Structure 1
Amino acid sequence: MPQTPEPGSPESAHEEQRWLDSREVAELWPVREEWVPGAAGRAEVRVRRHGGESRGTYGAAPTFYSYHPEDVRRAATAIAEGRVDIPSVWRTDTPDGRRAEYWSRFRFRLSCTVALTLVLCILGLAVYTVVS
C-alpha cells in the first residue's frame, strides 16, 4: 500500500483541495454511507472531524466528517481490488450489505408510519371531543 502522509500533516495553500463529505465518498466506494467513517479508518484515509462537542446533560452535537480527496481515490482502488478488509454488512455490493440496507430502510419507514398513525389518531380524538 502506498505511503500516506500523517493525518495531522498540513498541506500547502496551493495544494489544498475541497475535502469530500460522507455522501460523496459513499458514491465512490461500495460502502453504505453510515459506515464510511469506519471504512476510511481501515483504508487509512485522512479525516477531518467537525462538531461532536459535548452539550453536557443534552448529549453531544452531531459529528460530520470530511475526507481527503486523494486518499479517497487511492482507497477506492484498494477497496475495489480487495486490499482493504471491510465487513460485508458495510458494503453495498454484497448480499449481507443489501439485506442490512433493506431492513434499516424498512424499520425507518415502519416507525414513520406508526408515528403518523399515532398523530392522526390523536387529532381524530381531539376533533371528536370538540365536536361532541
Structure 2
Amino acid sequence: MPRTPDPGAPESEHEEEPWLSSHEVAALWPIRTDWLPGTAGRADVRTRRYGGESRGTYGAAPTYYDYHPGDVRRAAAAITEGRVDIPSVWRTDTPEGRRAEFWSIFRFRLTCGVVLALVLLVLGLVVHEIAF
C-alpha cells in the first residue's frame, strides 16, 4: 500500500477540496459507521479528530472525524478490492456485518421502547394518584 503523509502533517493553506465527514465516507466505503476511524487507520487515510474533550464527572464530549478526500478515494478502491485487511463484521457487504448492524439497531430500538414504556407507566401512576 502506498505510504501516505503523516496525519499530523500540516496541509497547505489553499487546499483544493474540503475534508469529508463520516457520513460522506460511509456512503463511499462498505464499512459500518462505528468502524470508519479504525478502517481509516488500517488504510492509511489521514484523519482529523475533534471533540472528545473531558466533561469531568459527565464523561466526554462526542468525538468527530474528518477524512482526507484523496486518501478516501484511494482507500475506497483498496477496500472494495479486498486489499485492506478489515474484519468482516465491520463491513456492510458481508452477512456478518449486516447481522451485527441489524442487532445493533434492534437493541437500540428495543431500549428506546422500554424506556418510553417506563416513562409512560410512571406518568400514568402519577396522574392516577393526583386524580384520585
- Asked whether the two chains share a fold, i.e. TM above 0.5, the reply is yes
User: Per-residue deviation at 1:79?
Assistant: 0.3
Matching residue of 2:129: 129
Matching residue of 1:68: 68
- State how far apart, in whole Å, the 2-side matches of 1:15 and 1:102 are: 39
- State how far apart, in whole Å, the 2-side matches of 1:15 and 1:123 are: 55
1:23 aligned counterpart, secondary structure: helix
TM-score, length-normalised on structure 1?
0.94
Matched positions, count: 132
Matching residue of 1:80: 80
- State how far apart, in whole Å, the 2-side matches of 1:33 and 1:88 are: 14
1:4 aligned counterpart, secondary structure: coil
After superposition, the C-alpha distances for 1:36-92 in whole angstroms (9 at most, x for unaligned) are 000000000001010112223332221111100000000001001111011011000
- Aligned amino acid, residue 82 of structure 1: G
User: Per-residue deviation at 1:16?
Assistant: 4.5
Q: Which runs of at least 4 in structure 1 moved beyond 6 Å after TM superposition?
A: none
- State how far apart, in whole Å, the 2-side matches of 1:122 and 1:57 are: 28
- State how far apart, in whole Å, the 2-side matches of 1:12 and 1:103 are: 43
5+ residue gaps, structure 2, are: none
5+ residue gaps, structure 1, are: none
Matching residue of 2:17: 17
- Aligned amino acid, residue 43 of structure 2: A
Give the share of equivalent positions with the same residue, in percent.
Answer: 72
Matching residue of 1:3: 3
User: Per-residue deviation at 1:107?
Assistant: 0.3
Matching residue of 2:41: 41
- State how far apart, in whole Å, the 2-side matches of 1:12 and 1:38 are: 26
After superposition, the C-alpha distances for 1:82-129 in whole angstroms (9 at most, x for unaligned) are 110110110000000000000001000100110110011111111111
